[in-house]
Amino acid sequence: MEIINSQSNLSRTETGEFTQQTSSEMDANSRLLELTLQLLPTLGTKWNLHNLVSMKRQTLNRVLFYDRIYREILDVPGVICEFGVQWGATSAQLINLRGVYEPYNYSRHLFSFDTFEGFTSIDPKDGGLSNPGDYAVSKSHENVLNEILDIHEAFSPITHIRKFTLIKGDASEKIDQWLAENPHAIISLAIFDMDVYKPTKEVLQKILPRLVKGSVLLFDELNCPNFPGETLALDEVLGLNNIRLQKSPLQPFSSWMKFEV
């Protein structure tokens, strides 16, 4: 197999994201996209179901992984905080998983934080592979995502109560305002998908008082050589020797822990 970058097994794409795909995998991915775009207008009213024909194994892994995580919090009261949203795939899945497992639990509000402009700053502890602006989305995407999530909510009960909020901005700055405006909020699940050191550490430190025993902390890039800042942040706040991390074979770097401190 040809590796795109033999030194680091890493390549930066034109969208500011990293990939470790081989050239043949990237070609197959491009062809699958072409075929999907051709098929989509012909799939009829059940396009969302039939479009599963183009779902890749990696995507299915992600769906199954978050299904497992969501089931871990069913008996834990509180809201979900997602730190790092990008295009919103995880936000949409969380809303739909709530609709599957607890459609009448309107207290399970989803708060999703993102700059929607990529990384705002990079720390030396991030290893030198990331740049400001990486993982940015299209301009005003948060407005499109807001409408998409509204539609997802409409497929479950209690549609008159809005159960998600998008929060635009640096989570390490926005979290103080959120804590002040939501003094009632217990956090049942906190998803850290910001990849880099500074916001991960600062947000983790600030939300600790809102966790209960059994709250789940999920980290998307732990033990990841391309994003060392996330592991360093966790170590500095909780200490790797003090916690029990759990792993799934479905995701290479995502790990989670149940808060028991």
DSSP 106-145: TT--EEEEE-SB--S---GGGTT---TTTTB--TTHHHHH
pLDDT for 2 equals 28
CB within 8 Å of 223: residues ≥ 6 apart: 231, 253, 255
What one-character-per-residue DSSP string does 141-179 give? Answer: HHHHHHHHHHHHHTTSS-TTS--EEEEES-HHHHHHHHH
C-alpha to C-alpha distance for 164 and 39, rounded to whole angstroms: 32
pTM value is 0.91
- Which residue bears the tokens 């700053």? 121
Check residue 194 and report its DSSP letter: -
Nearest partner of 180 among 204, 218, 210, 213, judged by Cα: 210
- Which residue bears the tokens 């509000």? 109
pLDDT for 17 equals 72
pLDDT for 15 equals 57
- Which residue bears the tokens 């030198």? 128
Tens of pLDDT, residue by residue, the chain (261 residues): 222 333 344 455 545 677 788 899 999 999 999 999 999 999 999 999 999 999 999 999 999 999 999 999 999 999 999 999 999 999 999 999 999 999 999 999 999 999 999 999 999 999 999 999 999 999 999 999 999 999 999 999 999 999 999 999 999 999 999 999 999 999 999 999 999 999 999 999 999 999 999 999 999 999 999 999 999 999 999 999 999 999 999 999 999 999 996
226 half-sphere exposure, CB direction, 13 A CA radius: 18
pLDDT for 7 equals 36
Catalogue all structural domains in the chain, each as residue range(s) with its CATH number: 1-54 (no CATH), 60-258 (3.40.50.150)
pLDDT for 168 equals 98
